[in-house]
């Protein structure tokens, strides 16, 4: 199959073998980038830590100095690449997918790789999934750009890269698929779902090959809960929903308060705060996995767990709020496990003698994750995959539902990602018409039966119009006026006088979607655009009229 045939096939909003194979390729590219990212962190940490993320073994001075020095490095690299390339993480990826078909600027990704690696190496309370998602989307974007694929396919491949990034970060391919549909794309379409699913599987398998198949929560022992725990689980969910709202509100407060500061002092302040927290509570440093380990090893130590919870909460809020590059999901998972473990203290009175701390730790993670990100289904599937336990499903549903409804209805909480996008002024909402039309490449619906005339001679144009079929558009070109659509003016036509009207045409690349044509023509509600080959703008491939776009919107209900 030639590349031109491939592009035409991908312009259709349908599941195809070609799109699935490209989804696998996008997942593999994303996995390779993330494996390199994780190996970099592990290798450098191994030079000064006995085990990853366990900073408590470091001397006090190093725990203070390490984040400060790391913040300086991050600011220096951001300065070298240009501060305009410093919008990072999942919110930025959502914006690029919604409004730029997933095309990712390369220098943003360089900042994400370097800054995220340095932040995680030095013990900042950030997650690796933020950089992973960003790099996954960029890998898919590069693949689509190199092959000059239609933008509707580029958008789907960006979703594939995100899914592979999440799956490679947590070894949760199903949760990754749901996360993309629920949080990033915010829609479910079968022709998008299948390649994203394959990309998530590819990302998970590739990272399992390098790092093994064990998950972060493999150490947690899941104990089935009796029916008598269910009323208490609802109370726990309500508390988790309130904490999620407070977390989101305080994070946005820090972001807004310190926005007037330039980047260097903001990052240095973040390093100083992380260093001071690391000096007092070293267990709060890192992405959150060390906090999970402590919650598993010492669930009865209420004082230690409470101290870690408060310290890690502050460390996460200030690290993310002050602009340290990294993800939010990893620390939220750690905070949720610690909170759930603390809640298990009272649960032991319901069934004395039964250790339920591990179960409650997982449920705490599920509730906090669902309410913070507004992703209840992704949180539920993550719990199922990370624990491989069917006994956790019903309790998790109760906690997630209570947490999500409490955060949404009682407190009016919104997804932290959308709040960040609103504050940054990055649009993420698309009209239903544009969103439907984004799924179709312009090559799928352009009219390829046209006549092209390089002349502005009216007699020649009249002669050509008389020679062609009335249904065949005539495009004329001259240096002064560019491309125009020539047709008889029916309002001024008579037997003796046949006037010609001209409709100016704007050109669109063959990579464009119907949404791009809609944006060009929607103000006038009339006219047409011509489609040119993306490699040669003098090669006209077809024409698309406004009437045809309107017909698509009114007849193709499957797109809406």
pLDDT over threshold 70, residue 10: yes
| For residues 491-495, average pLDDT | 55
Residue 414, domain member (yes or no): yes
**Are the C-beta atoms of residues 284 and 311 closer than 8 Å to each other?**
yes
Over residues 84-103, the pLDDT tens digits come to 545 778 999 999 999 999 99
Mean pLDDT (the chain) is: 90
Query: For residues 240 and 353, which has the higher predicted lDDT (pLDDT)?
Result: 240
Q: Exposed e or buried b for every residue in 88-115, given b needs 16+ CB within 10 A? A: bbbbbbbbbbbbebbbbbeebbbbbbbb
Edge-to-edge order in the sheet of strand 451-453? 451-453, 474-478, 482-488, 500-504
Which secondary-structure segment (H or E) carries 525?
none
Assess whether 156 and 274 both reside in one domain. Answer: yes
- Claim to verify: residue 121 and residue 223 sit in the same structural domain: yes
Is 351 domain-assigned?
yes
pLDDT higher than threshold 80 for residue 13: yes
Q: What is the pLDDT of residue 387?
A: 86
For 191, the domain range is 3-429
Predicted local confidence at residue 253, as pLDDT: 96
Ranges of beta strands (E only) in 370-527 are 451-453, 474-478, 482-488, 500-504, 506-509
pLDDT tier at 456, thresholds 50, 70, 90: confident
Mean pLDDT, range 549-557, rounded to an integer = 81
Do 414 and 462 belong together in one domain? Answer: no
Confidence check: pLDDT of 118 > 70: yes
Q: State yes or no: pLDDT of 113 exceeds 70.
A: yes
Residues 283 and 311 in one domain: yes
Query: What average pLDDT does this structure show over 471-484?
Result: 87
Q: What is the pTM of this model?
A: 0.90
What's the pLDDT at 490?
64
Q: Which single residue is written with the structure tokens 């730790």?
A: 361
Q: How far apart are CA 413 and CA 24, in angstroms?
A: 36
Reported as a single tens digit per residue, the pLDDT across 346-385 is 998 898 888 899 999 999 999 999 999 999 999 999 999 8
What secondary structure letter does DSSP report for 222?
A: P
> Read out DSSP for 465-491?
HHHS-TTS-EEEEETTTEEEEEEE-GG
What percent of the chain has pLDDT above 70? 96
**Is the domain of 424 the same as that of 520?**
no
The angle that helices 129-146 and 151-170 make with each other, rounded to 10 degrees, is 150
Q: CB–CB of 534/511 below 8 Å?
A: yes
**Residue 515 in domain:** yes
Does residue 436 form part of some domain? no
Same domain, 352 and 293: yes
**Mind listing the pLDDT tens digit for each residue in 255-279?**
999 989 888 999 999 999 999 999 9
Q: Decide if 117 contacts 37 (C-beta within 8 A).
A: yes
Give the Å distances, CA to CA, from 323 to 40, 68, 166, 258, 316. 22, 14, 21, 10, 11
Among candidate residues 429, 459, 476, the one where a domain is terminated: 429
pLDDT score for 154:
95
**Average of per-residue pLDDT across 57-61:** 90
Number of residues that make up the chain: 560
Stretch among 112-126, 195-209, 410-424, 465-479 having the lowest mean pLDDT: 465-479
- Is the same domain home to 379 and 423? yes
What is the average per-residue pLDDT within 146-159?
94
Please check whether residues 448 and 366 belong to one and the same domain. Answer: no
Q: How many domains does the chain have?
A: 2
pLDDT, average across residues 1-17? 88
Residue with the bigger pLDDT between 77 and 53: it is 77
My answer on whether 392 and 481 are in the same domain is: no
The answer to whether residue 434 sits within a structural domain is no
- 451-453 and 474-478 beta bridge pairing: parallel
* Region 385-404 average pLDDT: 92
For the ranges 28-32, 167-171, 245-249, 492-496, the lowest mean pLDDT is seen at 492-496
Burial per residue of 311-335, b for 16 or more beta-carbon CB atoms within 10 angstroms, e otherwise: bbbbbbbbbbbbbbbbbbbbbbbbb
Judged by average pLDDT, the poorest of 33-37, 361-365, 495-499 is 495-499
The answer to whether residue 267 is domain-embedded is yes
Does residue 208 come out as left (phi exceeding 0), alpha (psi in the -120 to 50 range) or beta?
A: alpha
CATH number reported for the structural domain that contains residue 552 in this entry? 3.10.580.10
Q: What digits encode the pLDDT tens for the residues 340-351? A: 999 999 998 898
Handedness of CA 500, 506, 507, 513 (dihedral sign): negative
462 with 400, same domain? no
pLDDT value of residue 494 = 52
**Parallel, antiparallel, or unpaired for β 451-453 and 528-533?**
unpaired
For 499-548, the pLDDT digits (tens) are 788 888 999 999 999 999 999 999 888 889 999 998 887 889 999 999 99
Structure tokens at 292: 């999970």
Show which of 429, 456, 478 is a domain's final residue. 429
User: Is 331 found in the same domain as 397?
Assistant: yes
| 398 plus 273 within the same structural domain | yes
H or E segment to which residue 531 belongs: strand 528-533
Indicate which CATH number applies to the domain containing 304.
Answer: 1.10.3080.10
User: Which of 407, 429, 451 finishes a domain?
Assistant: 429
Q: How far is CA 360 from the centre of its chain?
A: 29
């Amino acid at each position: 199959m030639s590349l031109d045939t491939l592009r035409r096939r991908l312009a259709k909003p349908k599941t195809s073998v070609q799109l699935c194979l490209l989804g696998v390729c996008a997942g593999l590219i994303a996995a390779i980038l993330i494996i390199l990212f994780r190996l970099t962190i592990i290798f450098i940490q191994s030079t000064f830590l006995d085990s990853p993320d366990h900073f408590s073994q470091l001397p006090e001075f190093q725990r203070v100095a390490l984040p400060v020095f790391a913040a300086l490095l991050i600011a220096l690299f951001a300065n070298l690449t240009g501060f305009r390339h410093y919008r990072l993480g999942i919110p930025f990826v959502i914006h690029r997918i919604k409004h730029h078909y997933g095309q990712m600027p390369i220098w943003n990704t360089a900042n994400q790789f370097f800054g995220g690696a340095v932040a995680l190496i030095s013990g900042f309370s950030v997650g690796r999934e933020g950089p992973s998602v960003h790099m996954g989307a960029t890998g898919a974007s590069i693949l689509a750009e190199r092959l000059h694929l239609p933008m509707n396919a580029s958008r789907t491949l960006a979703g594939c890269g995100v899914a592979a990034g999440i799956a490679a970060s947590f070894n949760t391919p199903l949760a990754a698929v749901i996360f993309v549909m629920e949080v990033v794309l915010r829609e479910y379409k079968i022709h998008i779902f299948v390649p994203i699913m394959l990309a998530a599987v590819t990302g998970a398998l590739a990272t399992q090959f390098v790092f093994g198949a064990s998950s972060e929560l493999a150490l947690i022992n899941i104990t089935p809960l009796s029916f008598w725990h269910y009323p208490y689980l609802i109370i726990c969910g309500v508390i988790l929903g309130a904490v999620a709202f407070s977390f989101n509100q305080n994070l946005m407060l820090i972001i807004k308060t310190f926005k007037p500061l330039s980047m260097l002092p903001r990052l240095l302040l973040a390093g100083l705060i992380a260093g001071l927290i690391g000096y007092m509570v070293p267990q709060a440093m890192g992405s959150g996995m060390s906090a999970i380990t402590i919650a598993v090893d010492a669930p009865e130590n209420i004082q230690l767990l409470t101290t870690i919870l408060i310290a890690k909460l502050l460390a996460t809020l200030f690290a993310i709020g002050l602009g340290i590059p990294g993800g939010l999901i990893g620390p939220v998972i750690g905070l949720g496990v610690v909170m759930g473990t603390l809640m298990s203290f009272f649960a032991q009175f319901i069934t004395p003698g039964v250790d339920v701390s591990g179960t409650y730790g997982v449920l705490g993670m599920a509730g906090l994750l669902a309410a913070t990100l507004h992703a209840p289904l992704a949180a539920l599937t993550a719990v199922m995959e990370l624990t491989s336990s069917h006994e956790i499903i019903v309790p998790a549903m109760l906690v997630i539902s209570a947490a999500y409804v409490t955060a949404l209805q009682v407190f009016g909480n919104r997804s932290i990602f959308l709040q960040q996008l609103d504050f940054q002024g990055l649009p993420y909402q698309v009209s239903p018409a544009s969103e439907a039309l984004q799924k179709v490449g312009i090559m799928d619906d352009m009219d390829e039966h046209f006549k092209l005339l390089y002349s502005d001679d009216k007699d020649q144009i009249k002669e050509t119009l008389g020679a062609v079929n009335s249904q065949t558009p005539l495009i004329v070109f001259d240096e002064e006026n560019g491309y125009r659509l020539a047709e008889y003016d029916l309002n001024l036509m008579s037997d003796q006088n046949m006037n010609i009207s001209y409709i100016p045409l704007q050109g669109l690349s063959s990579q464009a979607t119907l949404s791009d044509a809609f944006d060009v023509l929607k103000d006038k509600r009339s006219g047409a655009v011509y489609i040119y080959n993306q490699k040669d703008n003098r090669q006209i491939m077809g024409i698309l009229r406004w009437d045809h776009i309107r017909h698509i919107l009114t007849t193709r209900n499957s797109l809406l």
